[in-house]
Structure 1
Amino acid sequence: MNQDFKAKLDGLLEKYTELLIGDSNEELKDKVQAWIIYSYIAKSMAPLAKHWNETYPEAKEEMKALIAEIKKLNDEHRSK
């Protein structure tokens, strides 16, 4: 992947994060990126997500907490 494409993709993620939760920094972008990847895999390859959840129950709990945090931030942002 070339650097120009990576920079543009990072800009897309930054804007998506900002629109989704009202702010964007590296930590928030990382959280949103993890949420996007997990959500996409869970929808497109549910057995893989199920296997991952069973193999790594502690990571599953972290993901649930991350999803709840993003939902809360999104709800707060939309209520402004």
Structure 2
Amino acid sequence: MNTDFEKEFNALVLKTAELITGDTSPEMLEKIKIWAFFNHVHKSLPALTSHWNQTHPESKAEVRRIFEEIRDLNQAQQAKKPESK
């Protein structure tokens, strides 16, 4: 893969993590990738994620935990923003 593309794409993931959660740690970057990928697959191929959830209940619980963590961090991030008028 093109290393310039990889750098640019990783910068996009980093900025996404920063805007959504305020956390740009390597662990959060991986969680953002999982969150974005699973969210896309769930919307595009719901039967696939449903089947995966049924066959991998422990992993389903981990994905849910990641989604909830990102949601909570995003809500905290939003609460920090001053209200625009």
State the partner residue of 1:58: 58
Higher Cα Rg, which structure: 2
User: What's the CA shift for 1:25?
Assistant: 1.4
Task: Give the structure-2-normalised TM-score.
Answer: 0.91
Structure with bigger helix share is 1
User: What's the CA shift for 1:59?
Assistant: 0.3
How many residues end up aligned between the 2 structures? Answer: 80
State the partner residue of 1:45: 45
User: What's the CA shift for 1:41?
Assistant: 0.1
Matched position secondary structure for 2:43: helix
State the partner residue of 1:68: 68
Q: Distance in 1 between matches of 2:17 and 2:44?
A: 22
Unaligned runs of 5+ in 2: 81-85
Cα shift readout 1:41-69 (whole Å, capped 9, x = no counterpart): 00000011011101101000011111000
Instruction: Flag as ranges the 4+ runs of structure 1 deviating above 4 A.
Output: none
Q: Distance in 1 between matches of 2:56 and 2:2?
A: 33
Q: Distance in 2 between matches of 1:23 and 1:56?
A: 28
Unaligned runs of 5+ in 1: none
Q: Distance in 2 between matches of 1:3 and 1:19?
A: 24
Matches within 5 A, 1:1-80: 1-80=1-80
